[in-house]
């Protein structure tokens, strides 16, 4: 069983994001970049399935600039066997990424695609669903537990009313939620081994995919700053402010 895991290079979650002065986007100059946390969970789950003897190979895939090789190497340090970079200088939107992954799935023939439910930079939560639609595969999103056996995937997912368990035939697409697992720290020996693992680089044109953006970002702006809180003398004054100033009652 081969598992394909898409990983995205994003601004590290500990970094305070700054908007460019001209409002065209987020400033990533001299900013620490790392693997999307949800994708890290996906890699960990795939590696655990391999360690359990269920999967035979884990392939990490990233789409983007050349620096995304670092993200793939990070996935290899966790336990992925090899990597593929679809190199493009063009901004890749969810549909373009889904088409690229579909082309790679046609080539690699994985049994399962495990990806993060969303990226923390654009929060689109679209790529996994689009990929499943393009492939015509069943999908289970927001997975908090995954079991694979006898050509069937059993996935527990959190919903508003509690927990829901889905069963679907393989091949399938699974997107991960935060409670699925806790990713391991990459050890120094594994980081060194990751440098020697194979990493193939292809272009979108090699896969026959047009990645021209379909959407245009008009403006990026920071949310308005919250005003400072005030103290009130008594309940009557609180009610008055909620009614006449905040207008919430």
DSSP reduced 3-state for 11: strand
User: Which range, of 2-6, 172-176, 224-228, 235-239, averages the lowest pLDDT?
Assistant: 224-228
**What pLDDT is stored for residue 223 in this prediction?**
83
CA 125 centroid distance within chain:
8
Residue 220 lies in a domain: yes
The domain tally of the chain equals 1
Residue 53 lies in a domain: yes
| 230 pLDDT tier (thresholds 50, 70, 90) | confident
Residue 249 lies in a domain: no
Residue 19 lies in a domain: yes
Q: Count other Cβ atoms within 10 Å, centred on residue 113.
A: 30
pLDDT tens for residues 46-82?
Answer: 999 999 999 999 999 999 999 999 999 999 999 999 9
Looking at the chain, list the stretches that DSSP marks H as alpha helix, in order from N- to C-terminal side: 37-51, 68-78, 94-108, 127-135, 188-194, 235-244
Give the length of the chain: 249
**DSSP assignment, residue 212?**
-
Task: Output the domain CATH number for residue 112.
Answer: 3.40.50.620
User: Domain range holding 15?
Assistant: 2-244
Whether 86 has a pLDDT exceeding 90, the answer reads yes
| 19 pLDDT tier (thresholds 50, 70, 90) | confident
Contact 39, 61 (CB under 8 A): no
């Amino acid at each position: 069983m081969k598992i394909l895991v898409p990983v995205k290079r994003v601004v590290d979650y500990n970094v305070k994001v700054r908007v460019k002065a001209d409002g065209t986007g987020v400033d990533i100059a001299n900013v620490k970049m790392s693997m999307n946390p949800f994708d890290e969970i996906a890699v960990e789950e795939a590696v655990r399935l391999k360690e359990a003897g269920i999967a035979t190979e884990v392939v990490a895939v990233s789409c983007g600039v050349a620096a995304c090789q670092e993200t793939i190497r990070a996935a290899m340090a966790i336990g992925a066997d090899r990597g593929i970079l679809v190199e493009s200088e063009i901004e890749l939107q969810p549909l373009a990424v889904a088409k690229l992954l579909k082309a790679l799935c046609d080539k690699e023939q994985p049994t399962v695609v495990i990806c993060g439910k969303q990226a923390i930079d654009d929060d689109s939560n679209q790529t996994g669903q689009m990929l499943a639609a393009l492939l015509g595969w069943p999908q289970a999103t927001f997975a908090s537990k995954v079991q694979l056996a006898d050509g069937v995937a059993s996935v527990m997912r959190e919903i508003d009313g509690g927990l829901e368990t889905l069963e679907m035939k393989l091949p399938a697409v699974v997107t991960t939620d935060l409670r699925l697992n806790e990713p391991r720290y990459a050890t120094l020996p594994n980081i060194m081994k990751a440098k020697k693992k194979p990493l193939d680089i292809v272009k979108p044109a090699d896969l026959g995919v047009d990645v021209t953006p379909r959407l245009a970002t008009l403006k990026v702006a920071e949310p308005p700053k919250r005003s400072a809180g005030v103290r009130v003398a008594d309940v009557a004054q609180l009610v008055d402010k909620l009614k006449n100033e905040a207008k919430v009652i």
